Structure 1
Amino acid sequence: MRPLTVFAMDLHQHPEPSGEESRTASRFADALAEAGYAVTRGVGGHGVVGVLTNGEGPRVYLRAELDALPIRERTGLPYAAQGPFMHACGHDLHLAALLGAATLLARSLPHWRGTVVIVGQPAEETLTGARAMLEDGLYARFGRPDAVLAQHTAPLLGGMVAHGYGQPVLAGSLGLDVTLHGRGGHAGAPHLTVDPVLAAAAVVLRLQGIVSRESAPAEQTTVTVGQIHAGTHNGVVPDSASLGITVRALSDESLDRVVTAVERVVRAESTASGCPRDPEITVVSRSPATLPDGEVTAVVREAHRQVLGAERVVPWAPSMATEDFGLYGDAGQEIHGCAGVPLGYWMVGIVGPRQWSATAGANAAERLAALPPNHSPEFAPHLPIALPSATKAMTSAALTLLSR
C-alpha cells in the first residue's frame, strides 16, 4: 500500500475535532519536515506551516484543514473511526493530497522557482481557524502570498475537478447562539410559567418565512436551526431554551440583511411570549463567500485540463456550503493587512465506480443527488481514485503558478 494512502487512512481512523487536532497536526508536521520543509508548529492553535524556498519567484500558499466533525461514522470502512468524531467532510483526504503535492514539489526543484508555503489549518468546521492563523501573523511571519490555493471534496465522480466561473464557489456564513429566557415551573401549572420552549418553537417556525417571503426567489439564502436545547425533566418547564442558528448567503449584503431579520424575529417572538428578559444573541462565527480570482482560476483550470483530461474538468455552480478560506484573500484584509491576494479554489470528486454503479437514479443528476453528501455519516471518499487525482490537481496548480 502506498505511503500516502496509509497516511490518509491513519488520519481517517483518528479524527480530532476543531481545536483539538494535536495528533493530526503532529503527524502532518513530521511528514513535512521529512520532505525537507522548514516547519513551524502551533500557529493559531494547532496550525502547521511548512516553507520550502527554491530561488527567486512567486510565493504560493497551499492550504488544507486538520479537523473532523462530531459525527459517528457509518461507512463500514475497515479503517473507519470508532468514536464520536469522523472525517465526514474530506479533510483527511485534503491533508493527504496536500502532503503528496508538497512532497512532489520538493522532489521537482529544477521545474519551478519561488517559495511554497504549506498550511495545515485547524478549526475550519467552526469557521475560526483561518482567522486564528492570520491573527497569529501568518502572512507577516511567512511572507505575503502571490496566491493561495485550496481544494475541497464533493460528491462528484473520482478523477473529476470542478471550477466556478465568475461567481462565488461557496456561500458566506454567520453562526448565532440564541438564548430565550422564560420562567420555569411545574408542568401541571403552565399558566404560572413563561415557557421558553414554546417561544423557541415559534422562533424556529417564523424563521422559515425570512427565506420564503423576505428573500427574492433568485437570491440564494438559507436559515438553518441546527441545535435546540432546553430542559432537564419532562415535568418541568425550564427557565431557558437555546438555539444554534446558521445563516448563509452568496454576498455580504444578503447575509447582513438576513441576519438582521433573524434578530428581529427572535426579539419579537420573545416579546410575544412574555419572556421576562430580552433574548441573548451572540455571533459565534462569520466567514465570507469563497470567490476565487478569475485569472488564477483560468490558469489552474487549464493546468487541470492538461493533467487530468478536458472531459474531467467541469463547471461548478455556487453552493450554499461554506468555509473560512475566503479570509486568506481580500475579505480578510482587515486581519492580515494585505490587499490583492488572489485565491484559487476548486472541488475534487471522490465517488468510486462501484459506489456510482450501485446508486439508484434514472440519470447522472439523480445519482449525484442520492449519494452521501459531505457531513453525512456515510461519506466515504474512494481513496484509490480520489487521492491521486486530488494530489495531481494540487501539484499541477502549484507548479503552474510557480513556473510562470
Structure 2
Amino acid sequence: MTTPAPAARTALDLTADLPVPSLEDLYRDLHRHPELSLREHRTAGLLAGRLREAGFETAEGVGGTGVVGRLRNGDGPTVLLRADMDALPVREETGLSYASRTDGVMHACGHDLHVTWLTGAAEALAAGRETWQGTLLVVGQPAEETGQGAARMVADGLYDRFGRPDVLLGQHAAPGPAGLYPHAPGLIMSASTEVDIVVHGRGGHGSRPEATVDPVVTAAYLVTRLQTVVSRELAAGDSAVLTVGRIEAGTRHNIIPSEARISLNLRSQSEEVRQRMLAAIRRIAHGECLAAGCPREPEVTVGSTFPVTVNDAATDAVVAAVHGEVFGADTVFDPGPAMGSEDFPGLALDRAIPYSYWFVTTTPPQVWDEALGDTLPEKLASVPSNHSPHFAPDLSTVAPGVRTLVSGALAMLAAG
C-alpha cells in the first residue's frame, strides 16, 4: 500500500474529528430556510458568523449578499474556496423532515450542502493553520442561479479589497452513487444563454378568428420549428441543447390575445455554436411571424449568459490526484463535459486565474440501488437530479465534501 502524499495525509488528519452532527444541523437548517438569488440574507449571516468564530476577517454584503472571509497565515499562495448560496423557485416534494418551510422555494440544486461543506472546510483549515502557509479566502457567492453573483462580487471589489487569489477551487453536488469525485482536466460545464421572444399578433374575440392574427398559433409553430435548430442546423459532433422553458399567452378562454411570449434556454460548448443557434432563432422567429402575417416583427432578446467552465488542466490534475489519495483512485474519474452551466468562471476574470471545479456525487445508497437500469448512465436518468423537486443529497456526504475542499486547498497552499 502506497503512503499518501503530504497534503492528503494532512487533510485526513485535519478532518479526522469533524463536528459532523453540528455540520448536519447546519445543513438541515439551511435546507429548511432556502432563499432566492440576492435574498440570501439569513444564509449569508449564518456563514459569516461561523467564519468569524473560526478567526476569519469577515465581510458581508459583497456584491449584494455575498460573504468573504480571509485568513492570513504567513507567506504563501492565496487560495479561494467558493460556495454558492441561493435556492430555486421550486416547490419541494422530498418528504424530508427538514423540508423547506418557504412555500415554492427549495434548495433543489444543493447549494445548502455547498455552504455546509465550505463552513466545515474553513473551520478545519483555521483550526489546523500550523500545517499550511499562505492566505485562505472563503467566498459565499450569491445569485449563482441567475448568473449575476460572480460578476457582482468582482465589480464590488472582491479582489481589490481582499486580494487576488492565485487559484480558485469549487465543487458541486451531483446525482450519482454517493462517494465519487468526478474531475475533468478541461471543459467540464457548458455555456448557457437565455433568449426571450415576443410574438405580436392582433387580438380579438374567439368567435371571429378571421379578424385576428393569432400569436398563440404562431408561437406553437415557432416552438416546433425551433427543435430543428439542433437536429438540422448543427453538426452531429456539436453538443448543444435548446429548451423551451416557458410559453405564455392570453387571459380568457374566448379571447385571442395580442401577443405571446416564449422563453428559451440554450446550451453550447463553443462560442461559434452559440452564435449559430442565436442566428437561427432570430431567422426562424422572423420567418414564422412573416408567414402568419403578424403586424409587427417579433422581439428577440438575448438575456443572461453563463460562460463555459474550463478547468486549468495542471491545477485540476493536482486536485484530482490528492482526491484520489484521500478517497481512493477508483473514486476519481473524468466524466466528460456536462451540458449544465455554472457561474463559477465569472470569479476567474475571463480565466486569468486558474481554477479547478469538480463534482461530488450525493444520491442516497437506497435511492441509487432502487433506480431503474443496470449501467451508470441508465441509473443517472432514473434518480432525482439537480433542480428536481425530489433532489435530496444524502447526509453521509457532509464529511467527504468537507475533505475534498480541505485536501484541495492544502494541495495548493504552502506546507507549514
- 1:328-339 to 2 correspondence within 5 Å? 328-329=347-348, 332-333=349-350
1:71 corresponds to: 90
Identity %: 46
TM-superposition CA deviations, 1:308-331 (whole Å, max 9, x none): 1112112221111011112222xx
Q: Which residue of 2 aligns with 1:377?
A: 389
**Candidates 86, 92, 96, aligned match of 2:112:** 92
Q: Secondary structure at the match of 2:182?
A: strand
- Using the alignment, how far apart are the partners of 1:238 and 1:204 within structure 2? 18
Distance in 1 of aligned mates of 2:368 and 2:267: 30
After superposing the two structures, state which structure 1 stretch, 121-130 or 273-282, moved more. Answer: 273-282
Matched, 1:218 2:233: no
Q: CA deviation at 1:396?
A: 0.4
**What is the rounded CA distance, in whole Å, between the counterparts of 1:277 and 1:252 in structure 2?**
30
Residues 269-295 of structure 1 deviation map (CA, whole Å, 9 limit, x = unaligned):
222222212222222201111001001
Name the structure 2 match of 1:336: none
For the 8 Å contact 1:52–1:117, the answer to whether it is kept is yes
2:321 paired residue among 299, 302, 320: 302
The structural deviation recorded for 1:14 is: 0.7
AA paired with 2:189? L
**Which of 156, 168, 171 lines up with 1:148 in the alignment?**
168
Which position in structure 1 is the counterpart of 2:357?
A: 345
Deviation at residue 366 of structure 1 after TM alignment: 2.0
Q: Are the equivalent residues in 2 in contact too, given 1:221–1:248 (CA < 8 A)?
A: yes
Q: Confirm or deny: 8 A CA contact 1:12 1:87 kept in the other structure.
A: yes
Instruction: Specify the alignment match of 1:400 in structure 2.
Output: 411
CA distance in 1, matches of 2:297, 2:57: 52
Counterpart of 1:291 in structure 2 is: 310
Gaps spanning 5+ residues in structure 1: where? 334-338
Give the deviation of 1:161 after TM superposition: 0.4
Q: Secondary structure at the match of 1:33?
A: helix
| Shift of residue 371, structure 1, vs aligned partner | 0.8
SS in 2 for 1:119: strand
Asked whether the 8 Å contact 2:185–2:312 carries over to 1, the reply is no
Call closer, same or farther: CA 1:153–1:54 in 2, change over 3 Å: same
Q: 1:76-125, CA deviations, whole angstroms, 9 ceiling, x for partnerless residues?
A: 11101141011111111111001111111101111111111111111111
Structure 1 residue aligned with 2:375:
363
The one of 331, 334, 337 equivalent to 1:318 is 337
How far did residue 368 of structure 1 move? Answer: 2.4
Q: CA RMSD in A?
A: 1.3
Mean CA deviation greater in 278-287 or 225-234: 278-287
The secondary structure found in structure 1 opposite 2:83 is strand
CA–CA distance in 2 between the matches of 1:295 and 1:269? 48
1:122 match: 142
Structure 1 residue 389 corresponds to structure 2 residue 400: yes
- Distance in 2, matches of 1:314 and 1:62, equals 22
Q: Which of the residues 12, 26, 35 maps onto 1:7?
A: 26
Separation of aligned partners in 2, 1:367 and 1:92? 24
TM-score by structure 1 length? 0.95
Q: How does 1:160-199 map to 2 (within 5 A)?
A: 160-166=180-186, 168-199=187-218
Q: Which runs of 5+ in 2 are unaligned?
A: 1-19
Cα distance in structure 1, aligned partners of 2:35 and 2:287: 39
Amino acid at match of 2:414: S
2:339 is paired with a residue whose SS is strand
Note if contact 2:241-2:266 (Cα within 8 Å) is conserved in structure 1.
Answer: yes
Q: Secondary structure at the match of 1:191?
A: helix
Taking the aligned partners of 1:160 and 1:340, their CA distance within structure 2 comes to 29
Counterpart CA distance in 2 for 1:182 and 1:19 is 36
Contact 1:165 1:316 in 2 (8 A): no
Q: Which amino acid aligns with 2:391?
A: F
CA contact (8 A) 2:66 2:139 kept: yes
Q: Distance in 1 between matches of 2:41 and 2:215?
A: 39
Aligned mates of 2:185, 2:153 — CA distance in 1: 29
Counterpart of 2:8 in structure 1 is: none
Structure 1 CA distance for aligned equivalents of residues 301 and 294 of structure 2:
18
CA distance in 2 between partners of 1:37 and 1:316 (Å): 35
